[in-house]
């Protein structure tokens, strides 16, 4: 691993991973390809450790000429593919960009990797000298939804995506694996649960609730709020990806879950309690909780079984939800400049109007 192409490195998880990698690998050169869409920002990349080893390129993963050029010019030997349209609610309001970026964009990267690294099944020589490793970041949402008594998702759980977002990610996962079987492309996949932590764009549940609360705005709970997610701190996720890059077996998939599974309502109440302590207001923040119309096709429960990555690569999460959530709340309170710049840069209010106005109160 000398020259790594990171896609989507100006987004939430990608920018955290770049910070992690610059610390871990002192000789690595990072090329970061990101279109700077609604959730991507150069603000997420300020203050990187050793920034001269990070080269930012604004561009589209669907642009084959650009991707091929980057592969050749920088002798890329590793791709970590984060770039995606990533928000379920946006996919419900407009699915087409999800298919374009998540499916067609992934295909474009796979083709570029095959061209650079060769087709080992047919012994086609590679355009360059290097061997490669393509790592694809996916989600537990491809597995669909669990009933209360069903066991957690394992790597062999059948795919059953139920939103345009998860359907596009499922489709990209299938394409990625097909390149291992058909062309021998050296690759790995991780399917992780809901991430949280610093630099998450404030339209996802946790930062949205922190922000709304500090502004005294309603805290919109979809439906009855008893949906369950498996919360994973982004630093634990970064470590899992790193271990897979170092020791993952080619062609394999690893599930990564945080092992924290409160219902949404419980999670929001915990955020309120932390805020009551560190940023007290005249009334408890939980009084802002407001039930709104549910998300269509809302998956009820996710839970991820991480036994495989634990057994094979020794990974386990280090952040408890209690401490991780408290740190995250404090990070947002301490980084209100970042929040304000991001909100100004992106058309955040337009999104709030679009997603929440017609939801009303339940």
Q: Active-site positions?
A: 140-141, 165
**342 part of the interface to ligand NAD, by CB under 6 A:** no
Q: Which is nearer to ligand TYD, 114 or 237 (CB)?
A: 237
Partner whose footprint covers residue 305, from ligand TYD, ligand NAD, none (CB < 5 to 8 Å by kind)? none
> Quick one: CA dihedral 204, 207, 211, 216, positive or negative?
positive
Query: In sequence order, which ranges of 47-160 are alpha helices (DSSP H)?
Result: 64-73, 88-93, 96-98, 106-117
Gap between the Cα atoms of 58 and 246, Å rounded: 28
Partner whose footprint covers residue 77, from ligand TYD, ligand NAD, none (CB < 5 to 8 Å by kind)? none
Partner whose footprint covers residue 208, from ligand TYD, ligand NAD, none (CB < 5 to 8 Å by kind)? ligand TYD
Question: Closest distance between ligand TYD and the C-beta of residue 194, in Å?
Answer: 5
| Strands, E assignment, 167-274 | 187-192, 195-196, 219-222, 232-233, 253-256
Query: Per-residue x/- marks for ligand NAD, 95-134, CB under 6 A?
Result: ------x---x-----------------------------
Of 5-13, 100-108, 181-189, 218-226: span binding ligand TYD (CB under 6 A): 218-226
Q: Of these, 1, 22, 28, 36, which contacts ligand NAD (CB under 6 A)?
A: 36
Token pair of 255 as six digits: 């599930």
Span 200-259, contacts to ligand NAD by CB under 6 A? 201
**184 part of the interface to ligand NAD, by CB under 6 A:** no
Question: Closest distance between ligand TYD and the C-beta of residue 320, in Å?
Answer: 19
Distances in whole angstroms, Cα of residue 212 to Cα of each of 170, 201, 272, 289, 334: 32, 13, 11, 10, 16
- Please check whether residue 44 is in contact with residue 20, taking contact to mean a CB–CB distance below 8 angstroms: no
Query: Per-residue x/- marks for ligand NAD, 144-183, CB under 6 A?
Result: -------------------------x--------------
Partner whose footprint covers residue 88, from ligand TYD, ligand NAD, none (CB < 5 to 8 Å by kind)? ligand TYD
| Residues with Cβ within 8 Å of residue 201, at least 6 apart in sequence | 11, 12, 38, 39, 207, 342, 346
Q: Considering only CA atoms, which of 331, 332, 220, 320 is closest in space to residue 268?
A: 220
Q: Which is nearer to ligand NAD, 175 or 281 (CB)?
A: 175
> Quick one: CA dihedral 235, 179, 90, 88, positive or negative?
negative
Q: Considering only CA atoms, which of 211, 231, 221 is closest in space to residue 339?
A: 211
């Amino acid at each position: 691993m000398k020259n790594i192409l990171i896609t989507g490195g100006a987004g939430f998880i990608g920018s955290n991973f770049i910070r992690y990698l610059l610390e871990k690998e002192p000789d690595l050169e990072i090329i970061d390809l990101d279109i700077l869409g609604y959730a991507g920002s150069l603000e997420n990349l300020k203050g990187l450790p050793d920034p001269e080893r990070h080269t930012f390129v604004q561009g589209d993963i669907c642009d084959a000429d650009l991707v091929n050029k980057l592969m050749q010019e920088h002798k890329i030997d590793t791709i970590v593919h984060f770039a995606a349209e990533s928000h379920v609610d946006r996919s419900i309001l407009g699915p087409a960009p999800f298919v374009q970026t998540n499916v067609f964009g992934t295909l474009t990267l796979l083709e570029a990797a095959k061209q650079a690294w060769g087709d080992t099944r047919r012994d086609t020589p590679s355009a360059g000298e290097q061997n490669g490793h393509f790592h694809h970041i996916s989600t537990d949402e491809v597995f669909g939804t669990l009933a209360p008594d069903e066991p957690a998702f394992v790597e062999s759980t059948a795919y059953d995506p139920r939103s345009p977002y998860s359907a596009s990610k499922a489709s990209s996962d299938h394409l990625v694996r097909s390149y291992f079987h058909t062309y021998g492309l050296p690759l790995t996949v991780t399917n992780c649960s809901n991430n949280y932590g610093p630099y998450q764009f404030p339209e996802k549940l946790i930062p949205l609730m922190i922000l709304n609360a500090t502004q005294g705005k309603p805290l919109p709970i979809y439906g009855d709020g008893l949906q369950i997610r498996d919360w994973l701190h982004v630093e634990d996720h970064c470590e899992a990806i790193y271990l897979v890059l170092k020791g993952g077996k080619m062609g394999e998939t690893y599930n990564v879950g945080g092992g924290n599974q409160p219902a949404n309502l419980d999670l929001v109440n915990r955020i309120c309690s932390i805020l009551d302590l560190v940023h007290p207001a005249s009334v408890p923040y939980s009084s802002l909780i407001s039930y709104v119309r549910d998300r269509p096709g809302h998956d009820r429960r996710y839970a991820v079984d991480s036994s495989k990555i634990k057994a094979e690569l020794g990974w386990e999460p280090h952040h408890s939800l209690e401490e991780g959530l408290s740190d995250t709340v404090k990070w947002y309170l301490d980084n209100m400049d970042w929040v304000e710049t991001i909100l100004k840069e992106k058309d955040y209010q337009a999104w709030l109007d679009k997603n929440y106005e017609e939801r009303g109160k339940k």
